[in-house]
C-alpha cells in the first residue's frame, strides 16, 4: 500500500435506490420495488458509465489519489444481484489506484440476507457487512416499520460472521418508553453473537417522512431528551466494559475494527457519490483550496437517462448533478471541526488549517478553546482538540463555538 502522504485518499459511495418497503423514518432516496422488478443489469451498467467519467478524468490513476474504501448503501443494496455489483467493483479496481487492504462494505437488511447471501457477496468482493438490525424487540421493530423479526436479525448477523467478513450492526435507541437498560441489553446481546462493531443512533425525525407527518400532527411518541442522554451515557459505559470502545459519538468498536469508510467522512476526506440520489464531495486541484458537494438525480428514470442514454460529456464537472454547492476554505475548515470533534481522537486544528491555507489559532478561537476547557467540555494537547466522553452530548454546540 502506498503511504498516505504520497497519494491523497478518497472514498466511494454507491447508492442503490431500491428496497422492498419504505421505513417510516427513512429520509434516504429509496423506492419500494418488487424484487422481480429491480433492473439489476441496467443499474450496474448505469453506475459503471457514471464511474467511467470520474475514473478516466478527475480520479484516474496518476492524478495523486488512492481509493481508501467503498460503501454500498441505499435503499437496500443487499437486494442487488451480487454478480452485477461485483461487476461494478471489478471495474473500479481496474480503473483506479486502490489500497491493498481497502474496506468494501455492503449495507444489509435482515429480510434479504442469509449465510448463502453473505458467501455470494464475499465472492463478489465485499469484505464488511453493515446490518440494519435496528432493534431486538418485536414491538420496537413494529413501531419502526421493520419487516424482519428478532430471530431473522440475529440469524443475519450470525450468517455474516460465518462468512469471514467483518460485521457491524445498527441499533436505533432512545425510543419512547425505552429505558436505558433495555438499549444496553440489546447492544450486549449483539456483542455476545460475536460483533466487534456497533452503531447506536438516536431516532431522527425528518420532515419528509411518515414519522415527520405524524410528529406534526402530534401523534408520534418521542423520548425525552434526558432519557436519550442517559441512554447514550449508559451505552458508553456498558459497551466499553464489553471491549467495544466509543471511537465516535454513535459508534463503538473493538480496537482495529473501526469503520474505515465512516472515518473518512469524519476526517473530511473526499468521497465520490455515484448512483441514483447519491451525494459526493471533492476538492478542486486549485489554489486557493475549494471544494464542491453535489447530488445526483433522485429518480431512477432520470438517472438512467443521464447515464445510459446520453453521450459521455467532456466538461470537467460532474455531468449528472442536479444540485451542487461550492465550498470555500473557511467553510471546509468549519465542517472538519464539526466532524472531527465527533471522534474520540479529536482533530489536529493546525494540520487542517494549514492544508486549507487559513489561520488556525485566531485570538477569538483561542479564547473560546480556553473557556470550553474551563467548562470541562474540551481538552487540548498542542494543536489537537478533543471532547471528553462525558461532554459529547454538547458536541455540536462545542464545535460551533470554535467557528
126 within domain boundaries: yes
317 located within any domain: no
The verdict on residue 329 lying in a domain is no
Q: Are strands 166-173 and 197-202 parallel, antiparallel or unpaired?
A: parallel
Cα-based angle 197, 198, 204 (whole degrees, multiple of 5): 150
**Of 70, 63, 37, 32, nearest in space to 147 by CA:** 32
372: in domain: yes
147 and 31 housed in the same domain: yes
Claim to verify: residue 159 and residue 74 sit in the same structural domain: yes
Same domain, 246 and 359: no
Q: Rounded to 5 degrees, what are φ and ψ at 264?
A: -60, -40
* CATH code, domain carrying 252: 3.20.20.70
Would you say residue 302 lies in a domain?
no
Question: Domain tally for the chain?
Answer: 2
How far is it, in rounded angstroms, from Cα 286 to Cα 269?
16
Are 202 and 350 members of one domain? no
CB contact at 8 A, 79 and 107: no
Same domain, 134 and 239: yes
| Ordered per-residue pLDDT tens for the chain, 403 residues | 344 456 889 999 999 999 999 999 999 999 999 999 999 999 999 999 999 888 877 666 556 889 999 999 999 999 999 999 999 999 999 998 899 999 999 999 999 788 999 999 999 999 999 999 999 999 999 999 999 999 999 999 999 999 999 999 999 998 999 999 999 999 999 999 999 999 999 999 999 999 999 999 999 999 999 999 999 999 999 999 999 999 999 999 999 999 999 999 999 999 999 999 999 999 987 778 899 999 999 999 999 998 987 655 444 455 566 788 999 999 999 999 999 999 999 999 999 999 999 999 999 999 999 999 999 999 999 999 999 999 999 999 999 999 8
Domain harbouring 354, CATH code: 1.10.10
Phi, psi values for residue 61, rounded to 5°: -55, 140
- Give the model's pLDDT for residue 315: 44
Query: Structural domain of residue 144, as residue ranges?
Result: 8-267
Q: Is residue 326 part of a domain?
A: no
Co-location of 73 and 222 in the same domain: yes
Per the domain annotation, does 103 fall within a domain?
yes
Please check whether residues 249 and 346 belong to one and the same domain: no
Give me the half-sphere count of Cα atoms (radius 13 Å) on the Cβ side of residue 201.
Answer: 12
> Domain ends where: 238, 267, 296?
267
Q: Is residue 14 part of a domain?
A: yes
Q: Name the domain boundary from 234, 267, 300.
A: 267
Give yes or no for a contact between 177 and 141, defined as CB atoms under 8 angstroms apart.
Answer: no
Same domain, 125 and 17: yes
Regarding whether 122 and 229 lie in a shared domain, the answer is yes
Last residue of a domain, one of 203, 233, 267: 267
For residues 199 and 89, state if they share a domain: yes
Amino acid at each position: 500500500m502506498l503511504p498516505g502522504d504520497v497519494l491523497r485518499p478518497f472514498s466511494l459511495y454507491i447508492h442503490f435506490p431500491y428496497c422492498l418497503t419504505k421505513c417510516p423514518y427513512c429520509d434516504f432516496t429509496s423506492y419500494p420495488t418488487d424484487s422481480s422488478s429491480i433492473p439489476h443489469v441496467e443499474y450496474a451498467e448505469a453506475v459503471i458509465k457514471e464511474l467511467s467519467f470520474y475514473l478516466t478524468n478527475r480520479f484516474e490513476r496518476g492524478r495523486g489519489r488512492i481509493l481508501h474504501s467503498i460503501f454500498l448503501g441505499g435503499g437496500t443494496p443487499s437486494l442487488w444481484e451480487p454478480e452485477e455489483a461485483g461487476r461494478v467493483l471489478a471495474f473500479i479496481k481496474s480503473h483506479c489506484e486502490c489500497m491493498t487492504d481497502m474496506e468494501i462494505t455492503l449495507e444489509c437488511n435482515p429480510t434479504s440476507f442469509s449465510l448463502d447471501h453473505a458467501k455470494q457477496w464475499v465472492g463478489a468482493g465485499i469484505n464488511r457487512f453493515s446490518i440494519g438490525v435496528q432493534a431486538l424487540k418485536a414491538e420496537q421493530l413494529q413501531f419502526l416499520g421493520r419487516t424482519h423479526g428478532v430471530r431473522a436479525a440475529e440469524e443475519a448477523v450470525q450468517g455474516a460472521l460465518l462468512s469471514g467478513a467483518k460485521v457491524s450492526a445498527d441499533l436505533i435507541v432512545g425510543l419512547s418508553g425505552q429505558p436505558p437498560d433495555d438499549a444496553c441489553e440489546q447492544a450486549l446481546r449483539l456483542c455476545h453473537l460475536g460483533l466487534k462493531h456497533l452503531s447506536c443512533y438516536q431516532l431522527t425525525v425528518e420532515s419528509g417522512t411518515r414519522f415527520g407527518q405524524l410528529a406534526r400532527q402530534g401523534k408520534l411518541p418521542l423520548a425525552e431528551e434526558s432519557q436519550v442522554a442517559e441512554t447514550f451515557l449508559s451505552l458508553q459505559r456498558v459497551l466499553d466494559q464489553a471491549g467495544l470502545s466509543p471511537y465516535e459519538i454513535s459508534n463503538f468498536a473493538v480496537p482495529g475494527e473501526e469503520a474505515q469508510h465512516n472515518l473518512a467522512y469524519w476526517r473530511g476526506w473526499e468521497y465520490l457519490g455515484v448512483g441514483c440520489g447519491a451525494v459526493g464531495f471533492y476538492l478542486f486541484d486549485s489554489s486557493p483550496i475549494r471544494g464542491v458537494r453535489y447530488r445526483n438525480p433522485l429518480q431512477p428514470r432520470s438517472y438512467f437517462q443521464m447515464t445510459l442514454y446520453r453521450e459521455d460529456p467532456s466538461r470537467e464537472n460532474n455531468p449528472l448533478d442536479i444540485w451542487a454547492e461550492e465550498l470555500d476554505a473557511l467553510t471546509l475548515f468549519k465542517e472538519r471541526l464539526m466532524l472531527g470533534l465527533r471522534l474520540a481522537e479529536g482533530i489536529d486544528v493546525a494540520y487542517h488549517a494549514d492544508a486549507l491555507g487559513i489561520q488556525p489559532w485566531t485570538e477569538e478561537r483561542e479564547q473560546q478553546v480556553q473557556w470550553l476547557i474551563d467548562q470541562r467540555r474540551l481538552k487540548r494537547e498542542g494543536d489537537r482538540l478533543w471532547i471528553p466522553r462525558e461532554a459529547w452530548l454538547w458536541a455540536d454546540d462545542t464545535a460551533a463555538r470554535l467557528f
